[in-house]
């Protein structure tokens, strides 16, 4: 039985509980690809409106599809439109297809008591039963049979699964992030889910999903302290023990886990970070009292955890720029500050052979692609690794290299040689030695005939700050893959997921804004810069004010975004007065410079 809170503990909790605000955003309303935004709506009423009497079959069919956006009680609202036999046979758990606008209903046949219609619409996404989203493209076409029952049209036969129009979907579903530790336990990896649930049931739903684990593709790059035998123990309540309206307004959260007592202290802290980051990101406010078999998970936080206690492992914190702004100008690495532009100390600031640069997140190491200076037919480029203020040493040669990318741990620089060979330059900080490893991409490009699989050449590769994912441009298209360690100490890239489907022009550059969001630059002057989430949803063009396309490079961090266009390097300036954002030139860099942020 749960131990009651002490009077002091209750009093302290009453002082620190705060009321939250809900965040909302909207669906994009222009430019391909169209995808889902994030609206903070509650699910539709538990007492759904019945079908309108005397409805013509095509209109009844549209009413049915509008009702499918409410998944409550196994789509009770939509089931009212089905015949008794169809109600029994319909498998609404087979998955959900989201279409971009109200589908076309085309009559194939109709007589007095029977009709067949073809539903046709453009797909933009698919939702699995666990709430995971996948961007999609193409035309959906399916048949639905209808019949009259007691003078009213009802759906007699329909395919398994659910079809939902995007705007209706956004009224019922909200995007949430579950968090799981990376394999090193140094950072939390977001796993995005779309859920329709009442606010007072949200904490229970999110914690249950945490216990079930990540999506299968992400599992090899993470671990889950909340996996069995850990389980929720008893009801989730407010901090004062009240079981009503948990997560609505203030009041905090108390949650008790069985099976967590044997966990060692570091694993317990990772488990607390999972709970706190997942709930706080969903606007379920703290304090968060986390117990193991009725006792505090960590005695230091017996009176509750706050987000600040675990913020260091959040996706925003690990991606933050800690090394300042740099650029490659005239083949040299320069530091860019408000006081001016100065060459970096050491080799990288003195040479004039650099093409692109990656700086480790702590600012201590540099990986650079430089001209080799060798005569034909020798390789034209060299990958150089060194300390920021010291010497650089060549570690690999090739015809081309993508700009180097470092995960947050700063242990290795990743690049793609000649468009089809992914390597890691692993730096041993104890000895200073660098070893080069090939990364297995066989699964990444195995299905060459599959249009959803990447095709070489790979022209951009950026490792996410947590190290769990890689964002890729392959043959002008954008993908995110999972970074999987192998037993032999090497790595592979697996489970490619297409992002930004349907771009009308090729992607040319990308970078991680956070571990959840990728910024993409593409050819052309229509929406040349856009953001997209790692599940392919919420594609959102950014302002192009002051840009002079084509945009050549994008470099991003949670609080900074830079691009290089045809005339300059520019920084995205967010207008504090609510007016449109705009790009502002970074003075002194010139037309051919390349912005460099750590990572």
Q: How far is CA 545 from CA 193, 402, 572, in A?
A: 33, 28, 10
- pLDDT score for 455: 87
How far apart are the C-alpha atoms of 431 and 413, rounded to whole Å?
Answer: 17
pLDDT, tens digit (0-9, with 9 covering 90-100), for 482-511: 999 999 989 999 999 999 998 999 999 999
Q: Domains of the chain, with CATH numbers?
A: 57-172 (3.10.450), 174-313 (no CATH), 318-596 (2.130.10.10)
Among residues 210, 175, 179, 218, the alpha carbon closest in space to that of 537 is found at 175
Tokens read off for 288: 């968060």
Give mean pLDDT, residues 431-458.
Answer: 83
Among residues 510, 514, 556, 532, the alpha carbon closest in space to that of 37 is found at 532
8 A C-beta contact, residue 444 and residue 494? yes
Give mean pLDDT, residues 173-194.
Answer: 96
**Cβ neighbours for 126, distance < 8 A, ≥ 6 positions apart:** 95, 96, 97, 98, 133, 134, 136
| Percent of the chain whose predicted confidence (pLDDT) is above 70 | 91
Among 43-47, 101-105, 365-369, the least confident range: 43-47
- pLDDT score for 46: 55
**Mean pLDDT, the chain, as a whole number?**
90
Q: Is the pLDDT of residue 43 over 50?
A: no
Q: Is the pLDDT of residue 16 over 60?
A: no
Beta bridge partners of 163: 97
Give mean pLDDT, residues 37-44.
Answer: 39
Rg (CA), the chain: 26
Among 95-104, 261-270, 431-440, 573-582, the least confident range: 573-582
- pLDDT score for 17: 38
- Which residue shows structure tokens 């039985």? 1
How far apart are the C-alpha atoms of 449 and 7, rounded to whole Å?
Answer: 66
Q: Is the pLDDT of residue 15 over 60?
A: no
8 A C-beta contact, residue 558 and residue 582? no
pLDDT, tens digit (0-9, with 9 covering 90-100), for 311-356: 999 988 999 999 999 999 999 999 999 999 999 999 999 999 999 9
- Give the pLDDT band (50/70/90) at residue 447: low
- pLDDT score for 290: 98
Among 215-229, 339-353, 369-383, the least confident range: 369-383
- pLDDT score for 430: 85
CA angle 374, 377, 382 (to 5 degrees): 45
Among 188-202, 299-313, 366-380, 465-479, the least confident range: 366-380
- Give the pLDDT band (50/70/90) at residue 248: very high
Q: List the end-to-end C-alpha distance of the chain, in Å, as a whole number.
A: 48
- pLDDT score for 377: 86
- Give the pLDDT band (50/70/90) at residue 39: very low
8 A C-beta contact, residue 43 and residue 71? yes
pTM recorded for the entire structure: 0.88
Among 9-13, 221-225, 330-334, 533-537, the least confident range: 9-13
How far apart are the C-alpha atoms of 34 and 137, rounded to whole Å?
Answer: 10
Tokens read off for 361: 């997140």
Give mean pLDDT, residues 406-426.
Answer: 96
How far apart are the C-alpha atoms of 376 and 592, rounded to whole Å?
Answer: 25
More confident residue, 129 or 447: 129
> How many helices and strands, by DSSP H and E, does the chain display?
9, 36
8 A C-beta contact, residue 307 and residue 573? no
Give mean pLDDT, residues 82-107.
Answer: 93
Give mean pLDDT, residues 442-453.
Answer: 70
- pLDDT score for 579: 80
95 burial level (CB within 10 Å; 0-12, 13-18, 19+)? middle
- Give the pLDDT band (50/70/90) at residue 375: confident
pLDDT, tens digit (0-9, with 9 covering 90-100), for 52-62: 999 999 999 99
DSSP conformation class of 145: E
């Amino acid at each position: 039985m749960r131990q009651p809170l002490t009077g002091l503990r209750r009093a302290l909790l009453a002082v620190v509980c705060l009321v939250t605000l809900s965040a909302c955003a909207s669906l994009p309303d222009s430019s391909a690809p169209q995808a889902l935004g994030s609206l903070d709506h509650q699910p539709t009423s538990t007492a759904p409106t019945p079908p309108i009497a005397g409805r013509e079959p095509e209109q009844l069919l549209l009413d049915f599809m509008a009702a499918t956006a409410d998944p409550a009680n196994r789509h009770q609202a939509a089931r009212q439109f089905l015949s008794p036999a169809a109600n029994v046979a319909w498998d609404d758990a087979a998955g959900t297809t989201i279409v971009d606008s109200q589908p076309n209903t085309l009559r194939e046949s109709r007589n007095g008591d029977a009709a067949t219609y073809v539903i046709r619409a453009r797909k933009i996404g698919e939702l699995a039963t666990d709430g995971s989203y996948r961007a999609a493209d193409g035309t959906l076409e399916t048949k639905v049979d209808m019949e009259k029952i007691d003078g009213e049209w009802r759906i007699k036969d329909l395919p398994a699964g659910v079809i939902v129009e995007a705007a209706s979907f956004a009224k019922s579903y909200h995007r949430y992030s579950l968090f799981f530790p990376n394999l090193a336990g140094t950072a939390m990896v977001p796993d995005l889910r779309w859920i329709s649930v009442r606010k007072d049931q949200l904490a229970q739903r999110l914690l249950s999903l945490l216990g079930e684990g990540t999506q299968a593709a992400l599992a090899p790059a993470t671990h889950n302290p909340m996996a069995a035998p850990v389980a929720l123990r008893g009801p989730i309540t407010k901090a004062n023990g009240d079981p009503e309206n948990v997560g609505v307004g203030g009041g905090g959260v108390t949650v008790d886990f069985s099976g967590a007592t044997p966990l060692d202290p570091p694993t317990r802290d990772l488990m607390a970070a999972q709970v706190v980051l997942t709930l706080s990101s969903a606007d379920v406010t703290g304090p968060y009292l986390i117990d193991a078999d009725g006792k505090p998970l960590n005695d230091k936080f017996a009176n509750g955890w706050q987000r600040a206690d675990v913020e260091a492992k959040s996706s925003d914190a690990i991606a933050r720029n800690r090394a300042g702004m740099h650029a490659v100008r005239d083949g040299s690495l320069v530091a860019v500050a408000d006081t001016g532009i100065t060459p970096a100390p050491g080799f990288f600031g003195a040479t004039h052979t650099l093409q692109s640069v990656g700086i480790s997140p702590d600012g201590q190491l540099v990986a650079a692609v430089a001209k080799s200076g060798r005569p034909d037919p020798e390789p034209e480029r060299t990958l150089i690794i060194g300390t920021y203020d010291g010497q650089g040493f060549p570690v690999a040669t090739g015809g081309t290299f993508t700009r180097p990318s470092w995960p947050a741990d700063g242990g290795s620089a990743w690049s793609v040689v000649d468009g089809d060979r992914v390597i890691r330059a692993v730096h041993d900080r104890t000895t200073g030695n660098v070893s080069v490893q090939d990364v297995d991409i066989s699964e990444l490009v195995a299905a060459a005939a599959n249009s959803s699989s990447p095709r070489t050449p790979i022209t951009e590769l950026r490792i996410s700050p947590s190290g769990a994912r890689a964002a890729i441009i392959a043959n002008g298209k954008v993908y995110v893959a999972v970074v999987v360690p192998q037993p032999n100490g090497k790595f592979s890239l697996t489970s490619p997921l297409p992002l930004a489907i349907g771009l009308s022009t090729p992607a040319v550059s990308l970078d991680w804004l956070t571990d959840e969001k990728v910024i993409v630059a593409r050819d052309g002057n229509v929406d040349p810069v856009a953001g997209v989430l790692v599940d392919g949803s919420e594609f959102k063009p950014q302002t192009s004010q002051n840009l002079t396309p084509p945009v050549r490079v994008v470099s991003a961090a949670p609080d900074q975004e830079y691009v290089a266009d045809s005339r300059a390097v520019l920084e995205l300036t967010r207008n504090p007065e609510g007016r449109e954002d705009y790009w502002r030139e970074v003075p002194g860099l010139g037309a051919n410079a390349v912005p460099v942020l750590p990572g």
